[in-house]
Amino acid sequence: MITNLLIITIFPAAMALAAATDLFTMTVPNRIALLLVAGFAVLAPLVGLGWSEIGLHVVLAGAALVVTFAMFSFGWIGGGDAKLFAATCLWLGPEMTLIYSIYAALIGGALTLAILFLRAVPLPALLNAQGWLVRLHSPQEGVPYGIALAAAGLLVYPDTPFMVALGA
Read off the pLDDT of residues 17-51 as tens digits, 9 standing for 90 and up.
Answer: 999 999 999 999 999 999 999 999 999 999 999 99
Long-range contacts of 61-66 (CB under 8 A, 24+ apart): 61/86, 61/87, 61/89, 61/90, 62/86, 64/89, 64/97
Burial label for 114, CB within 10 Å (0-12, 13-18, 19+), is exposed
Task: Tell me which residue range forms the domain holding 99.
Answer: 2-166
pTM score of the predicted model: 0.93
Read off the pLDDT band of 167 (50, 70, 90): confident
The count of domains in the chain is: 1
How confident is the model at residue 125, as a pLDDT?
86
How big is the chain, counted in residues? Answer: 168
Asked whether the predicted pLDDT for residue 168 surpasses 60, the reply is no
Instruction: Return the half-sphere exposure (C-beta side, CA atoms, 13 A cut-off) of residue 78.
Output: 20
Asked whether the predicted pLDDT for residue 3 surpasses 90, the reply is no
pLDDT digits (tens, 9 = 90+) for 135-160: 999 999 999 999 999 999 999 999 99
